[in-house]
């Protein structure tokens, strides 16, 4: 048995937390309800958009880590990468956060 939350519940909680803090969050891609991988996109607000993915650590934790930043000179490349990831794994969820200091919400999704 796992202590992992079903992905749809984790996504709902993330969206609610962002909305309660005065921001906006939306699901860009809906994946497998219970075990889909969650990717978080944070809008740059003056800087590049960022993609956060869980990265397993030696201690067993799986914190979200920035795995890609939007190239200011070629912004479409970021969206092309997201499309490619979705094609490779139709079970992934992609959630976009539009709020100041969005990284804090990725940090909340620690398990």
Stronger pLDDT, 1 or 64, i.e. the higher one: 64
- Who contacts 52 (Cβ-Cβ below 8 Å, separation ≥6)? 39, 40, 41, 42, 64, 65, 66, 67, 103, 106
Taking all residues of the chain, what is their mean pLDDT, rounded to a whole number? Answer: 89
Distance separating alpha carbons of residues 93 and 78, to the nearest angstrom: 16
Q: What structural domains and CATH numbers belong to the chain?
A: 7-108 (3.40.1530.20)
pLDDT > 90 fraction of the chain, expressed in percent and rounded = 65
pLDDT > 70 fraction of the chain, expressed in percent and rounded = 94
**77-101 average pLDDT score:** 94
Residue 111 pLDDT grade (very low, low, confident, very high; cuts 50, 70, 90): very low
């Amino acid at each position: 048995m796992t202590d992992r939350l079903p992905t749809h519940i984790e996504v709902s909680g993330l969206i609610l937390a962002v909305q309660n803090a005065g921001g906006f969050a939306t699901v860009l891609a809906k994946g497998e309800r219970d075990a889909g991988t969650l990717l978080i996109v944070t809008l740059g607000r003056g800087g590049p958009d960022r993609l956060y993915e869980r990265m397993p650590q030696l201690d067993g934790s799986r914190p979200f880590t920035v795995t890609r930043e939007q190239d200011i000179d070629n912004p479409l490349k970021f969206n092309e990468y997201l499309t490619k990831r979705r094609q490779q794994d139709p079970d992934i969820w992609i959630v976009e956060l539009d709020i100041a200091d969005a990284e804090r919400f990725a940090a909340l999704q620690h398990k």
